[in-house]
Chain A
Amino acid sequence: MPGGDSTRMPAGADVVEARPSFLARFFRDLVRSPKGMVGFVIIVILLATAALAPLLAPHDATLQVLTDRFLPPFYAEGGSVDHLIGADNMGRDLLSRVILATRTSVTVALIVIAIIMVFGSAVGLLSGYFGGIVDTLLMRLVDFQLSFPFILLALLLLAIFGPGFSTLIVALSVAFWVNFARLVRSETLKLREAEFVQAARSIGVSHAAIMIKHILPNTLPSIIVLATLDIAVIIISEAAMSFLGLGIQPPTPSWGMMISDGRNYLYDSYWMVLGPGIAIVVTAVGINLFGDFLRDTYDPRQSRL
């Protein structure tokens, strides 16, 4: 116990007390953090929009009304409230497209994050717990993977499987699982030596049970923080891939694709890019703020438990 740290709480602070539920504590912490609140609100709006997209969109996002081509937003001359942020080169309502694209991005992000959390954690756990040859092999796999530029990987998969939703999911999953594996591995390495794990061994608990019941729950805070931050990156990567035409295919709208469509009309009809661009930025910022809040509050490395 270092004696030089005068900011440490003196002992005696952790007296027996009833602990409010996790949710109650979470909201209490959230309310105290401005950036947490902002991020949380943005995320809630995002999820709500994704869930209720068809109901929220004022128009059919794929309906082409050629007379409305390049209609500017409502505040510019010639615009109307009917198409709040204007229409694109095919006369489709931009607001509706942005809203529907939210569903695309959120779906992709959630699927990918689920896959990489499960797979990455499994690999990390096994690697960190058993060490030895298992660790060496798995970590070499990770190294190999990391040395592959993401775009190259995506192109490779594209060549094999053709563009589309599944290819996109696979490409993103393959690219992002390694971070999870490394994080879980390093946490496992630390936890493996913890006294409560030694205690479980001395009781005769099996390796599997130790990994799943003892080590994994203690890595959850770090996993959740990383997942939150990764979601933002995944959404941006999805946008990038769709921008390049490697991901979501028309007619399903996607922010990246919308920006790609609007690229050629940037000077005259900037509003084609404005909507999706702002959507991406706000989403990424919101998720990052929330992720920051989570890390500040729950990162075990900064824990005062």
Chain B
Amino acid sequence: MSDALLTISDLETRYRTSRGDLRAVDGASLTVRPGEAVGLVGESGCGKSALGQSIMRLIQPPGRITGGRIDFAGRDLLTLGDREMRRLRGREIAMIFQDPMATLDPVQRIGDQIAELLEFHTDLGRTAIRKRVVEMLDEVGIPQPAARYRNYPHEFSGGMQQRAIIAAALILQPRLVIADEPTTALDVTVQAQILDLLRRLQESQTNTAIILVSHDLGVVSQLCDRVCVMYSGEVIEEASTGEILADPRHPYTVGLIASMPRLDVEGQTLNPIPGSVPDAINPPPGCKFAPRCPRAMDRCRIERPVLRDHGSGRSVACHLYD
């Protein structure tokens, strides 16, 4: 897709371990259009966090990106040098992590931390920067922003800390924001507020695309138009949010949805997926979901399925549909 903002093709990210290479991301492909909100859903070990970090080139040894392409606005991010990446981070691509206290410096004032970004990436003067930061704090719903500029992170509640992080992420109006489980550590009422905020901001900043990484399909469906499902390092299904719930095609997606307890359903029977996630160091041959798949065929144990376009935004990696 030539109008895509981000195209990831067959990305491979591996971690060296004493038993061999752990394939955190194992040939994942994904596209994001400008201004779009895409959800990246999967359970632990599926590689969704590693994928987000790979885009930002934040993978450190013993991890390394071993293959694929990441095309962002016409440039392959994997070919960029350190300095170029640093210019890109914060300015064009921003990341929001799950734990705000891991991102915020506890001994620096909140306002100053956000101001630092503007100092690094723009030529604005101190007064202009300060004004902009206060505006942004206001926009993310922090009350008395001018006063709270001077607060330290521990003086903010968890929800407010995350709002501050969002402010920092969006202040330079990046073209892409990667939010890695931004609400998982928050209470459910605070989560609802933050999702509300993200939705509002997403609608007003039309040029900013967002990848929302989460294990919670409910959270993702509040914000995203499209959902990509990951399993064992690969994207195995892609569809609009409505379609994924109404008509899941990949057996893993089907199983995942069947095992989720839902608030709006009474007397539910949960049908968990039997077995457990495959070994990321020595994955089984063929389709990695085959050992747990109720519809596995002989072909599935030999040949790995490829993500195929089913038209109208749908893709599935499964031999049942080949």
Contact = CB atoms under 8 A, between A and B. Distances in A.
Nearest to A6: B58
B58 A10 contact: no
A24 to B, nearest CB: 12
Contacts of B289: none
Contacts of B63: 6-7
A7 B60 CA distance: 6
Given A10-B49, A13-B17, A15-B279, A3 B60 contact: no
B97 A12 contact: no
Interface of A, secondary structure class, is: loop
Contacts of A12: 22, 44-46, 232, 277, 279-280
Interface string B34-59: 00000000001111011001000011
Contacts of A11: 44-45
A10 B59 CA distance: 11
A9 interface: yes
A9 B50 CA distance: 9
A2 interface: yes
A36 B97 CA distance: 38
B15 interface: yes
B102 A6 contact: no
Of the listed residues A2, A10, A13, A15, the one surrounded by the most CB atoms of chain B closer than 10 A to its CB is: A10
Nearest to B213: A3
B32 interface: no
B277 A4 contact: no
B282 to A, nearest CB: 9
A10 B43 CA distance: 11
A4 to B, nearest CB: 4
A9 B102 contact: no
Interface string A1-35: 11111110111110101000000000000000000
Contact of B45 (A2, A3, A5, A10): A10
A1 B58 CA distance: 17
A147 B101 CA distance: 39
Interface in B103-137: 103
Contacts of B102: 2-5
B9 interface: no
Contacts of A6: 53, 58-60, 63
A13 B279 CA distance: 7
A117 B19 CA distance: 36
Contacts of B98: 1-3
Contacts of A7: 60-63
Nearest to B47: A10
Interface residues of A, number: 14
A3 B22 contact: no
Given A10-B49, A13-B17, A3 B44 contact: no
B234 interface: no
A3 B181 contact: yes
B99 interface: yes
Interface in B57-114: 58-63, 97-99, 101-103
Given A3-B180, A4-B102, A4-B103, A9 B17 contact: yes
Interface in A231-248: none
Contacts of B47: 10
Contacts of A4: 97, 99, 102-103
Interface in B216-252: 232
Contacts of B61: 7
A9 B45 CA distance: 10
B24 interface: yes
A15 B279 CA distance: 6
Contacts of A2: 97-99, 101-102
B62 to A, nearest CB: 8
A25 to B, nearest CB: 10
Contacts of B103: 4
A119 B24 CA distance: 48
Contacts of A3: 49, 97-99, 102, 180-181
B181 to A, nearest CB: 6
Interface string B158-188: 0000000000000000000000110000000
Contacts of B180: 3
Contacts of B280: 10, 12-13, 15
A9 B180 CA distance: 16
A7 B276 CA distance: 24
Nearest to A14: B45
Contacts of A17: 19
Contact of B22 (A1, A5, A10): A10
Contacts of A10: 15, 22, 24, 45, 47, 49-50, 280
Interface string B285-318: 0000000000000000000000000000000000
Interface string A254-272: 0000000000000000000
13 contacts: A1-B99, A2-B99, A3-B98, A4-B97, A7-B60, A7-B61, A10-B15, A10-B47, A10-B50, A12-B46, A12-B232, A15-B276, A15-B279
Interface of B: 15, 17, 19, 22, 24, 44-47, 49-50, 53, 58-63, 97-99, 101-103, 180-181, 232, 276-277, 279-281
Given A3-B181, A9-B15, A10-B47, 16 more contacts: A2-B97, A2-B102, A3-B98, A4-B103, A6-B63, A10-B22, A10-B24, A10-B50, A12-B22, A12-B44, A12-B277, A12-B279, A13-B45, A13-B281, A15-B276, A17-B19
The 9 closest A-B pairs by CB, nearest first: A12-B45, A3-B97, A2-B102, A3-B98, A4-B102, A11-B44, A2-B99, A6-B58, A11-B45
